[in-house]
Amino acid sequence: MTADYRPLELEKEIREFWEKNRVQQKLALFKEKNNNGVLGYVEGPPTLNGIPHVGHARGRVMKDLRYRWKTMQGYYVPFWAGWDCQGLPVELEVEKLLGVKNKRELLEKVGMEHFIQECKKAVMKYHKEWVAVDGRLGVFMDHGKAYWTYKDEYIEREWQILKRAWDQGLLEEGYYVVAYCPGCQTSLSSAEVGYEGAYQVVEDPSLYFKFKLAGRRDEYFLVWTTMPFTLITDTMLAVHPEAEYAKVKVNEEKWILAKSRVQPVMQELGIEEYEITETMLGKNLEGTGYDYPFKDIVPEQAELEKKHPLVHKVILEDFVDVNTATGVVHQSPGNGEEDFFAAQKRGVPIFAPFDDEVKFTKEAGLFNGKFARDADAAVVEELQKRGLLVSAETLKHEYPTCWRSHHKLVWLARKEYFLRTDRINSKVLEAADRVNYFYESPRNRFISFLKEGKPWCISRERVWGAPLPIWKCKECGTKTLVASKKELLAKAREKPQADFELHRPWVDRITFKCEKCGGVMHREDFVLDAWHNSGASPYARFTDEEFRNYVPVDYLTEAMDQTRGWANTLLLEYVILTGKAESPYKAFLLQGLTQDARGRKMSKSLGNVIEANKALEKYSSDVFRFYVLRKCPPPDSNDFDPQELSRRPYQVLSTLYHLSRFFAQNSEFDGFDPEKHTLQSAKREKQLKSPDLWLLSRIQQTIETYTEKLGTCEFNLALAQLEDAVIEDLSRLYVPMVRKELWTDDQETLGRRLAVYSTLWYVLKTITLLFNPVTPYLSEALYQNVYRQLDSSLPETVNLENWPRPDEGLRNKAMEDDFQTLFSTVSLVYSARQSAKLKRRWPLSRMVVVAPEKTREALKSLEGLLLELTNVKVVEYAEMTPQHIPEEGWVSAAENGTQVFLDVHRDQKLLGEGAMRDLARRVQALRKELGYMPTDILDDVYMAELDNETVQLLQPYLQEMKELIRARNIHLLVDRGETGTDWHESQLDERKVYIAIRAQNKKPSI
Ligand SMILES: [Zn+2]
Ligand SMILES: [Zn+2]
C-alpha cells in the first residue's frame, strides 16, 4: 500500500484485478446458484443518442449501489444492461448527419434501407461511451446480457403486448387531437408535451375580432385568439351557460361578451365610450347562429353547415373561462383538444384540412399550401378586409414547443392509433398506489400525472422504430394484428427478401390476402412511440420463464424526467399485459436533476455539460460515487461542483485508507493472526478495555442505521453514518485512545496490542464491507491488501462477503453513555485550554470537575482516559464549586450542568514535558515525511539550536521521548555544528529548531 491514498492508481489496479479474475462474472454466477432469494431487475435503457454526463453517472451509481448491497445480503439480482435504440431523437441526429432537412427529403434522397443502417451506426457510437462509463465507475452491470429495443426478438415480444391490448379492445384507430411537431413531422404523446423545457416564451398574435350574429344588422360576438389560423377550421362558438353576458354598445354596434370582462377588455382596446344595454345568461345564447366570414374563400365551410345544424352556432360549455379574454371562445375541433371533444359529443364533423407538414390542403380553399402558422397573417388581412378586425397586437407567452426541435407545436386532429389507457385508468392508479416511491413529492407528482389518464397516442409517422403490426384491407377495411415474425411470414403473400427484419421498409413490403373479401391488406405505415419500446422491457427483454421469475421487479431508479416517461409507460403496458391492477416494479426511486456548480441546468447552449467519461478520467470513481450519494437526498437536484470532490469526500476515503494502513502495518509487526487472535480470545484473556468495548458497541449502531437508510434510499444520511464512523469514532476518538499502547514492542503488553488489533480487524473490516456498495474500488483494495493478506481463507472478492449485521452481544448502551459523558467533558477541557491559549500537548497539573453524580460516576469509571485525553495529571470531583479555587490562575468552561476548572500554572516539570511533546510531534511528522514506517526504529535523532534552558527542561523526559518516537538515542544540541547531517527546519513555539534522523540498515521507504 502506498503511503498516500492515490485513488486513480488504486482503481486502475483493482479494475485489472477484477478483469483478470473475472470477478463480476463469477459473482453473478455464484449468486445465481447460491442465494437467499431472487430480486428481479430490469434496466431502464439509456437512449443511445447522447454522450453520458455526470447526471447519468449519478444514476448508474445508485443502481450499482443497490446491486452490490443486495448481492452481499445474499440475493441474486439479474443486473443486466439494456439499450433504447429507436425513436425520433436518433432519427433527427442521423438526418442532420446525412444533411437532409425533413422527412420528405430523407425518403427521396436517402431511402429507408440506408437510413436504418445509419441509425444503427449512430446508436453504436453512443453505446461505446456508456460502456466506458460503467467500466470506469466500476458498475457491475452485465453488458453481455443487454437487451436492444431494435432487435427482432424484442420487437416481437413488444407486439405481444399490443396484441393483448387489441384483444381487450384497448388499441384503436381514431381521429384525435394530438400535439404535432411540424419540424419532426410526427405527433407527440401528451407526456412529451409536458417535458421540462418544452414550454418556452414565444411571441404570438393577440387578436380581437368580431363574428356577426346571423340575421342581425349590427350585433357581433367579440372573440379573442392567439392563433388566427384556427379561424380557418372554426366551426362553433362556446359560452359558459351560467355566466352573465352583456351586450355593449360601441359606436353604432353592439358587441356580446362576458359581463365581467367588459371593463378590462374596453380598457385594453382603448375604448372609452361604451354602454351596457342588456345582459343575459350564457345559456340564453345557446343555438344563436353567426355568419362565418370566410365561406367565400373556404367553400368547404359552407358544405359543413349543410352537414350538421350546430355548425357556426353557439354552444354551452363549462370549460369556458369568463375570467380571461371575452368569455366567448371560438371552437376549432381540428386544432384543439377541448374543441375536439365538444364537437365529438355533439356529432359535429371535424374539419382538419392539413397534410403531414401541417400545410393546409385544398379543402382550405384560398389557404391551400400554406403552413398553418404562416396563415396567421393572411387571416388577419382577410378579417381586416371584411371589417371584422377589432385589434391586432402581439404578446409574449409560454407556449409548448417540441422538446427535440423546439418548433412551436400545433394541435391537430389526426388519424392515429391509440392505446385507450383512459379506460383502464382506475387500475393504473391502483397499481401505482402500491408502489414505494421513497419520497412524498415525486410520488405525488407521478400520481397526479397519472390521474390525467389520457389516451396514449402510440403511432408515429416516422421510420426508425418498431413497426405498428396492423394490416388493413384496401377493399373492405378489415384490420388484423400480427404478434410474431412467424405469423407474419405465414400470412405474407410473397416471401420477403433475405435481409428481412422487423423494420421499415421491409415490413411495409409485406402484404396479406384479406380473409373477408380476398382484397390486399397493407400495413398501416406507422412506427411505435419509442416510449412504447422501452415501456415493454419488463416483458420484452425476458423469456417467459424469466418474466415469471423476475417481474414485478424489486427496485428501479431513474431520473425525475422519467415520471412522464419510463415510469409511466412501464406501468401502462404492464396493466394492459396482465389485466391486473399491478405494477411491474415494487419500488421506484426518482432522482433529481444534476446541475452545474452554480445551480444552472446543464445544457449544450450554456456549455456547462460535464461528460462522465471526461470527468472520470480526471477524478476518482470512488470519490465521485461517494460525493454524488453524500451530497443531497436523491430526489433533490444535485449542483455538481468538481472542486468539492477533493474536499470532504476525499478526506473521508483517505482517512479510511490511512486507518487501514496503520492497522495493517502495526498488526503485521506484532504478528497478529485473525484466526487466532479473535475478539473472543481477547475477551477471555481480559484484554479488551473500555475504548474497545465502546467502539465495538458503536459500530453495531452504525451497521443498523446505515442499512436502514440504504433501504429508505436516504443515501446522504446513510453515508453520514459511515463518515462519522471513520472520521469521528475511529480517527478522532478511538485511535488516539489506543495509539500509545500500540507504540511499543514490549513483549509484556503484546496481549493488549493483539486485543486492539482484533477490535480494529472487526471494526475496520466491517466498515470496509459497508463501504463496498459506495466505493467498490477502495473496499476491494483494502480487502485484498489488508484482510486477505492477514487471512488467506477469506473469499476471493469483497463482493462475496456477507452483509454485516448488528451483533447484539457487542452492544453496550451504558458504556456508550459513559463515553459520551467523557467526550463532552474532554471537549470542555479543550475549550477551557483554548481560552488560556494552552496547547493540548502541554500537560497541566490538575482540574476539578463539578457535575451531578451520574456524570461524576461515569468519569470516575473512565478516569485514566479522562486524564490522558485532557493531558492533565490529577482530577478532583465536586458537586458544587469548591472553596479552594481562587479566581486567578484557573480557567473554566461549562455546559449542560457540567463545569470544569483548570489550573493553568505550569512548573519546570510541566514545561519540560510540554516541550518534549512538542518536539516529539515534530519528529513524528518528519518520520512520516521521510517515509519511515511507523514500526521502524530510529538509531539517532538530533535536535539542534535549542537554548540551554530548554535542554535542561527536556533532560528528565528523554526516556519517554525515546519511546514516543521509537528512537534509540536522542541528542540535544545547542549548535548544529559539523555533523554533516541532513537538517530539517522546524518550529518550537516562536523559535526555529533543527531536527535530523539517522537510521542504519533502514532506508526510508516511500
Ligand atoms: Zn420537433
Ligand atoms: Zn377485405
The mean of the pLDDT values for the chain is 93
User: What value does the mean pLDDT take over residues 542-565?
Assistant: 96
For residues 881 and 900, give the distance between their C-alpha atoms in angstroms, rounded to a whole number. 9
Name the DSSP letter for residue 47: B
Distance 214 CA to ligand 1 centre (A): 41
Looking at the CA of 192, name the nearest ligand: 1
Distance 88 CA to ligand 1 centre (A): 9
pLDDT of residue 979: 60
pLDDT of residue 986: 86
Distance 521 CA to ligand 2 centre (A): 7
Distance 89 CA to ligand 1 centre (A): 9
Quick check: 157 pLDDT over 70? yes
Distance 407 CA to ligand 1 centre (A): 6
Query: Which one is predicted more confidently, 406 or 194?
Result: 406
Q: pLDDT band at 998, cuts 50/70/90?
A: confident
Distance 186 CA to ligand 1 centre (A): 8
Looking at the CA of 408, name the nearest ligand: 1
Q: List, in sequence order, every residue forming a beta bridge with 396; answer none if it has no partner.
A: 203
Q: Which segment of 677-691, 743-757, 766-780, 977-991 scores lowest on mean pLDDT?
A: 977-991
Q: pLDDT band at 365, cuts 50/70/90?
A: very high
pLDDT of residue 191: 67
Distance 104 CA to ligand 1 centre (A): 15
For residues 932 and 665, give the distance between their C-alpha atoms in angstroms, rounded to a whole number. 12
User: What value does the mean pLDDT take over residues 17-41?
Assistant: 97
Q: How many other β-carbons are positioned within 10 Å of the β-carbon of residue 707?
A: 18
User: What value does the mean pLDDT take over residues 530-548?
Assistant: 97
For residues 953 and 956, give the distance between their C-alpha atoms in angstroms, rounded to a whole number. 7
Distance 353 CA to ligand 2 centre (A): 28
Q: Using CB atoms within 10 A of its CB, is residue 73 exposed (0-12), middle (13-18) or buried (19+)?
A: middle
Quick check: 935 pLDDT over 80? no
Q: Which segment of 489-498, 527-536, 924-933 scores lowest on mean pLDDT?
A: 924-933
Distance 463 CA to ligand 1 centre (A): 15
Distance 470 CA to ligand 2 centre (A): 14
Please say whether the beta carbons of 562 and 54 come within 8 A: no
pLDDT of residue 193: 80
Q: Which segment of 56-60, 167-171, 173-177, 227-231 scores lowest on mean pLDDT?
A: 173-177
Distance 403 CA to ligand 1 centre (A): 7
Quick check: 985 pLDDT over 70? yes
Looking at the CA of 480, name the nearest ligand: 2
Three-state DSSP at 289 gives strand
Looking at the CA of 193, name the nearest ligand: 1
Looking at the CA of 184, name the nearest ligand: 1
pLDDT of residue 226: 93
Q: How far is CA 51 from CA 48, 103, 125, in A?
A: 8, 25, 9
Distance 471 CA to ligand 2 centre (A): 11
Distance 366 CA to ligand 1 centre (A): 27
552 preceded by cis ω (within 30°)?
yes
Quick check: 1006 pLDDT over 60? no
Distance 475 CA to ligand 2 centre (A): 5
pLDDT of residue 202: 87
Q: pLDDT band at 577, cuts 50/70/90?
A: very high
Please say whether the beta carbons of 998 and 940 come within 8 A: yes
For residues 537 and 942, give the distance between their C-alpha atoms in angstroms, rounded to a whole number. 72
Looking at the CA of 514, name the nearest ligand: 2
Predicted confidence (pLDDT) per residue in 789-843, tens digit: 999 999 999 999 999 999 999 999 999 999 999 999 999 999 999 999 998 989 9
Distance 479 CA to ligand 2 centre (A): 8
Predicted confidence (pLDDT) per residue in 197-216, tens digit: 788 888 899 999 999 999 99
Quick check: 1004 pLDDT over 60? no
To the nearest whole percent, how much of the chain has pLDDT over 90? Answer: 79
Distance 490 CA to ligand 2 centre (A): 18
Quick check: 739 pLDDT over 90? no
pLDDT of residue 1005: 42
Q: pLDDT band at 980, cuts 50/70/90?
A: low
User: What value does the mean pLDDT take over residues 662-671?
Assistant: 92
Quick check: 860 pLDDT over 50? yes
Distance 505 CA to ligand 2 centre (A): 23
Distance 183 CA to ligand 1 centre (A): 5
Q: Using CB atoms within 10 A of its CB, is residue 558 exposed (0-12), middle (13-18) or buried (19+)?
A: buried
Q: pLDDT band at 263, cuts 50/70/90?
A: very high
Distance 443 CA to ligand 1 centre (A): 29
pLDDT of residue 682: 96
Distance 375 CA to ligand 1 centre (A): 20
Looking at the CA of 512, name the nearest ligand: 2
Helix (H) or strand (E) holding 638: strand 638-639
Whether the model pTM is above 0.75:
yes
pLDDT of residue 1003: 45
Please say whether the beta carbons of 1002 and 940 come within 8 A: no
For residues 201 and 399, give the distance between their C-alpha atoms in angstroms, rounded to a whole number. 6
The protein residues having their C-beta less than 5 angstroms from ligand 1 (an ion) are 181, 183-184, 402, 404-405, 407
Looking at the CA of 198, name the nearest ligand: 1
pLDDT of residue 984: 87
pLDDT of residue 357: 82
Looking at the CA of 402, name the nearest ligand: 1
pLDDT of residue 453: 87
Distance 509 CA to ligand 2 centre (A): 18
pLDDT of residue 1002: 52
Long-range CB pairs of 128-135 (<8 Å, 24+ gap) are 129/51, 129/52, 129/613, 130/46, 130/48, 130/52, 130/83, 132/613, 133/52, 133/56, 133/57, 133/60, 133/612, 133/613, 133/616, 134/60, 134/81, 135/15
Which grid coordinates belong to 394?
402581439
Predicted confidence (pLDDT) per residue in 606-635, tens digit: 899 999 999 999 999 999 999 999 999 999
Distance 614 CA to ligand 1 centre (A): 30
Looking at the CA of 521, name the nearest ligand: 2
